[in-house]
């Protein structure tokens, strides 16, 4: 007789982009989580942000979710209200400077021909849809593109606000830096999963933009 698969608890990776979210996604996949289709989520970003009905329908398609729109500041509050029994993983870097440099480097290779993308480049960029990247960046970090002070303030504020939001329910939140040696074990303990390796298998290094390019 075929064994019935046990469904896993909804898990949302809510770290900002370039904090190791794809590495965590790979680990979740190895653990057997059904992953939400990221391309569909990005194409439905506006609807998912505005309609809880559409958000619920989309979340029926998976058990774990990461990247936009789930990584957008404050969206975790909506997710927590809809799924009070879910788990949240806040991925972070060593410090704000490291995160900002990684983000700019990745976007430069992905969208700017090796240079920090300009407003015009992002406005005309047909990635997901024309102007999508520009709109998401400005929604997340403000109108002034790649302003180090503003971006790093958003990064630090996101960590502070997420931590404060879950202060009375610490069992629902894991704050994790995937570069730390014991971080993989922390993830396993948090999710109740048996470790499949000693450390994370790194994915989506800045030099590898192929997976992102296919969304164009």
Mean local confidence (pLDDT), 31-46: 94
For tokens 């990584």, name the residue.
71
pLDDT, position 21:
95
Give the relative orientation of helices 148-165 and 96-111 as an angle to the nearest 10 degrees.
120
Q: Residue 47: is its pLDDT beyond 90?
A: yes
Closest CA to 67 of 198, 188, 216, 204: 204
Q: Residue 213: is its pLDDT beyond 50?
A: no
Helix, strand, coil percent content, the chain, rounded in steps of 5: 50, 10, 45
pLDDT, position 1:
45
pLDDT, position 6:
74
pTM above 0.85, yes or no: yes
Q: Residue 41: is its pLDDT beyond 80?
A: yes
7: pLDDT confidence band, cut at 50, 70 and 90? Answer: confident
Q: Which 8-state DSSP code applies to residue 199? A: S
Domains belonging to the chain, first-starting first, are: 11-102+152-213 (3.40.50.300)
How many angstroms separate the CA atoms of 30 and 17, rounded? 21
């Amino acid at each position: 007789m075929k064994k019935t698969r046990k469904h896993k608890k909804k898990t949302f990776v809510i770290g900002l982009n370039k904090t190791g979210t794809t590495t965590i996604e790979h680990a979740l996949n190895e653990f057997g989580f059904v992953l939400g289709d990221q391309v569909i989520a990005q194409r439905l970003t506006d609807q998912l942000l505005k309609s809880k009905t559409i958000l619920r329908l989309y979340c029926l398609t998976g058990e774990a979710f990461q990247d936009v729109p789930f990584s957008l500041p404050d969206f975790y509050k909506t997710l927590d209200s809809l799924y009070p029994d879910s788990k949240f993983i806040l991925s972070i870097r060593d410090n704000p400077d490291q995160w900002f440099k990684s983000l700019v480097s990745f976007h430069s290779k992905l969208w700017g021909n090796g240079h920090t993308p300009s407003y015009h480049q992002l406005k005309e960029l047909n990635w997901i849809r024309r102007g999508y990247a520009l709109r998401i960046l400005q929604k997340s970090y403000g109108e002034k593109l790649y302003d180090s002070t503003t971006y790093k303030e958003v990064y630090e504020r996101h960590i502070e606000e997420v931590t404060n939001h879950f202060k009375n329910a610490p069992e629902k939140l894991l704050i994790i830096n995937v570069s730390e040696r014991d971080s993989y074990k922390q993830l396993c303990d948090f999710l109740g999963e048996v470790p499949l390796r000693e450390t994370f298998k790194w994915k989506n290094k800045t030099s590898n933009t192929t997976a992102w390019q296919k969304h164009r």
